[in-house]
Chains A and B, each alone.
Chain A
């Protein structure tokens, strides 16, 4: 390489580096801005959800507390009823202790109007006369139970419930509210609210107190309770509605802040996640751009080396020239490269956007699943709690009735019913017949039918202590009621009947309503304009949709298909003329979907791609300009590539002359030496190497970073997308094809190497194997890709039999032509421009079609073969053919003289016949004929010239022989005329 050229190459490489850097920087900027914007939108949505979530959690906590207080308030009322029932005198300590144990509370007291204790189960430390207990003493004024409150003390905290007995006394139930605290922790705590919140892939929500900046909740338990300021969060960043980069314990997050009540809720996504999602795209696009730019530069230099278009220099002044042919070629390559760049950019952006959305959809679904599971657990817990409290009421009723059997009248039971806040109280005797009730239904006895609701209570008569029946619609009234029974015993402790109370579980019904799918789905947001909907599995109607009008409508009528209504769907679907990207999850009764309108996805995708292409365009134009402008005509005469047997000039159908690889070389899989390659061949080799390196890097990247949860490649490889024609199956197909092709190529290379090294037999086997590997890999790729694209390959295989039948019946010829055509191309028997002999027809291949092959035969006629009829092809595309000429001389002629003449004349003949590449050579005596000695003359020429050259050789030999008085024997006929009158 000349120094000037080397300098130019370095300059070009520098320019390329600058271009790539510029593109890279620009992409980082744009991608960064884009990611930030979309993340901000997502986070903002999440925060709206947070507010709703907090409000609903607050409501739940509130109703939980109300429920809890309801239970104990009614215990206070029961206590008041029990004490009132014991007549005027205040019960003693033992009596109070008994009450305490029935009610299962920490302490029970009776206090006077000023707060003076009159009786207590346990000594009370608190001074109820203080203002602090004003609220407890309200029953004296209102004659209603007091609002409960908690007093924290050093020994622990106590919660007070009061109920009036009479004007001078009131009952107080004291409770250690540990259970309540636990309940509140479960339902209303920040861990309960924020624990299930996920943002992006590794993001989460945490809470910071606005009062003293302690971290109230953080997924990392070590951080909970710590000072947020010490953890690295700035006070200035903690403002309602702010979005900022914050650092928590050294890790940086992109976070949004919402202030709810006295707490800042932060929704944070690791910065690394934001960066990494864009980084892969940027790296890949930059790599592709690098390949394009390097290809263009390399091509320019290869063209320059081949001295292409040296005669088409056009001066542009000041001694500068522009090479038009090179310019045209470079621009073509650049154009193709740009189109590729744009397509790749768009493709990658789409891939990454969709895979991220897909993962996020899945997360939303997982959240919904978790929420529903949590609700169910909550309801179970609630039910259990209610059962316990109801049982204690029933026990209280049993206690009262055992001590005061005279209360078992309608009036007495009504009072008891009121104190217990029950719907009704019933007393049954030992035969299972109702003896008294507070309700209007009398004359009831337990059923003997196991299917009846009341049958279960018979076991109470057989000694079972108590029974809590699940809530169900009442047999008689149809109301949603829960029955609880406790056995009554006589003095000997034998069961002599039972008391049954009916409760209306309002709170439970409320909780069940909360479990409603709609309540859960309403809060789900994903992406811009995203929403959730549910389709009933049985009826295939919408069981929930944000728009009321859809609910109850058939899903199939609104654009969904049967195939989409299944678990694990993740693809585009059309819902009411809107294309959405959705994911699904199957629950017991419904299929849940979260969907984002397609229009909201990947906004700015096109812009980024266009900018990429724009920058690429400018850079490439600049480079092309630099590359095809030269100072001074290219006077330096490069060594013209020597004649090599592997490359042959062929006349293409359009009249141009192109270089092609000779058939021998092609069939032989020999590698053409670099010197002998055309610039295009060199370019392809260079691109091939670069692509291989890129593929290897991608494989390496997948291996190293692919395990990361956030990796798109991981998502594509996981195969959790829907099998249909979509970007993921396309990507997976590309990956499979790349991998299989590389593997098969390596295997083929190895086999060819073996073929070359070992003996002929091995070589034959190896060549066969190479062929086999090639077909198997292609078929495997096709089969696998079809499977990825959602084609039912098993059916495809099964239906191969039907296919055969069809072929056998009608389209046999057509199919065999097509197959034969494919085989010709696959095996490379010949290609366009080759000179071949098929049967007895010799000509140049014009076109290999799917069904036919066109060959130009001498006389510029075109002969068309059906591909299936092509057999016994002789491919004569090679460097040299031999034109031969056989000529006879007389036996009488001196062979030495003839040889001497030929030795003199033949070199001269070469000058006259330019088609001769080498020779002509005298090749000795071919045959001692009947009347002539036949000698042979051979000349080396191109296959295209061979036939004409044969004729020219014949002519020349004849002329030479004539000049040198060498006779060519020919059959001579001696005619004898018979004399007419000559008689024998």
Chain B
């Protein structure tokens, strides 16, 4: 009998603990920093489909910021490129750290911290096309992600280039089309290009439209200044370069 009582007591205690834990999580929104991150870019933001855990440079950065701001933890939301702005505007996320590049148009709608990473557009081709420089792209069909500004940037970098563009919905679709030859080249972010590289493909040396990734917060958010200063502190202390080193 005594053992049963003990077990009962232990069970009750466990229940209480769970309930308390739940309360503290739900009750204190201040306890978690909600961060929109990428889910499909290795080394930046990657959601492991088996463990359902995010990992990568931006995840580490988000955790560091959450810690610096005194949050108990950071909660991650998957932010696809087209969803990033919506996440910020409808307040579902406190900030977005999702390969979100700083542009003048975006600056008007969001607050940005100091950039933590600089990336650029790259052109990827199959080696069997025998193409070696962007200038040879004349007459080619270049694939870009729907909604990205890659096409404009490529044209801006190589004015007068006679190329046609094909807009596809996913990076994987771009990769497949490149493989089958439906498109002749792909123009996309360097960090993503790395994920789709293989021995039969090549990246052009040309670096097009360097873009800076920064932490974005809703315009006028009380967090903007805090996050910006946290990023600055991470930059100054060398912690940020350590994180980037780690994921390179």
Q: Which residue of the partner chain B has the closest CB to A212?
A: B42
* Interfacial chain A residues near B140, Cβ < 8 Å: 131
State whether the Cβ of A221 lies closer than 8 Å to any Cβ in chain B.
no
CB distance from B192 to the nearest CB of A (A): 12
With A229-B48, A235-B55, A235-B247: A130-B179 Cβ-Cβ less than 8 Å: no
* Interfacial chain B residues near A230, Cβ < 8 Å: 48, 50-51, 53
B-side interface residues, number (CB < 8 Å): 26
A135 near B130: Cβ-Cβ < 8 Å = yes
- A135 CA to B132 CA in the complex, in Å? 13
Q: Which residue of the partner chain B has the closest CB to A149?
A: B128
Segment of A150-158, A441-449, A687-695 in the binding face: A150-158
> Which of A126, A131, A235, A236 gathers most chain B CB within 10 Å?
A131
CB distance from B244 to the nearest CB of A (A): 11
Q: Which residue of the partner chain B has the closest CB to A226?
A: B50
A-side interface residues, number (CB < 8 Å): 24
* Interfacial chain A residues near B116, Cβ < 8 Å: none
A136 near B195: Cβ-Cβ < 8 Å = no
State whether the Cβ of A211 lies closer than 8 Å to any Cβ in chain B.
yes
Q: Which residue of the partner chain A has the closest CB to B197?
A: A211
* Interfacial chain A residues near B43, Cβ < 8 Å: 212
Cross-interface CB contact of B129 among A131, A150, A153, A227, cutoff 8 Å? A131
State whether the Cβ of A132 lies closer than 8 Å to any Cβ in chain B.
yes
A151 near B131: Cβ-Cβ < 8 Å = no
CB distance from B136 to the nearest CB of A (A): 10
A130 near B130: Cβ-Cβ < 8 Å = no
A227 near B48: Cβ-Cβ < 8 Å = yes
State whether the Cβ of A127 lies closer than 8 Å to any Cβ in chain B.
yes
Cross-interface CB contact of A227 among B50, B195, B197, B247, cutoff 8 Å? B50
A132 near B128: Cβ-Cβ < 8 Å = yes
B179 near A151: Cβ-Cβ < 8 Å = yes
- A157 CA to B246 CA in the complex, in Å? 36
State whether the Cβ of B184 lies closer than 8 Å to any Cβ in chain A.
yes
Interface string of B212-241 (1 = CB under 8 A from A): 000000000000000000000000000000
- A127 CA to B51 CA in the complex, in Å? 42
State whether the Cβ of A213 lies closer than 8 Å to any Cβ in chain B.
yes
State whether the Cβ of A715 lies closer than 8 Å to any Cβ in chain B.
no
* Interfacial chain B residues near A132, Cβ < 8 Å: 126, 128-129, 180-181, 184
Interfacial residues of chain A within 275-298, with CB under 8 A of chain B in the complex: none
Cross-interface CB contact of B180 among A138, A151, A229, cutoff 8 Å? A151
* Interfacial chain B residues near A236, Cβ < 8 Å: 246
State whether the Cβ of B46 lies closer than 8 Å to any Cβ in chain A.
yes
* Interfacial chain B residues near A212, Cβ < 8 Å: 42-43, 46, 195
Interfacial residues of chain A within 573-615, with CB under 8 A of chain B in the complex: none
B246 near A135: Cβ-Cβ < 8 Å = no
With A226-B50, A235-B55: A133-B181 Cβ-Cβ less than 8 Å: yes
State whether the Cβ of B164 lies closer than 8 Å to any Cβ in chain A.
no
Interface string of B42-67 (1 = CB under 8 A from A): 11001010110101000000000000
| Leading 10 A-B pairs by shortest Cβ distance | A132-B181, A130-B181, A135-B128, A131-B184, A149-B128, A212-B42, A131-B129, A230-B51, A134-B130, A236-B246
- Beyond the given A151-B179, A152-B179, could you list 19 further A-B residue pairs with CB under 8 A, ordered by the A residue number? A127-B181, A130-B181, A130-B182, A131-B140, A131-B181, A133-B128, A133-B181, A134-B128, A134-B129, A135-B130, A138-B130, A151-B128, A151-B181, A226-B50, A227-B50, A230-B51, A230-B53, A235-B246, A236-B246
A selection of 24 A-B contacts at a CB cut-off of 8 Å is A126-B181, A130-B184, A131-B129, A131-B184, A132-B126, A132-B129, A133-B181, A134-B130, A135-B129, A135-B130, A149-B200, A151-B128, A211-B194, A211-B195, A211-B197, A212-B42, A212-B46, A212-B195, A226-B50, A227-B48, A227-B51, A230-B51, A235-B246, A236-B246
Interface residues of B (CB under 8 A from A): 42-43, 46, 48, 50-51, 53, 55, 126-131, 140, 179-182, 184, 194-195, 197, 200, 246-247
Interface residues of A (CB under 8 A from B): 126-127, 130-136, 138, 149-153, 211-213, 226-227, 229-230, 235-236
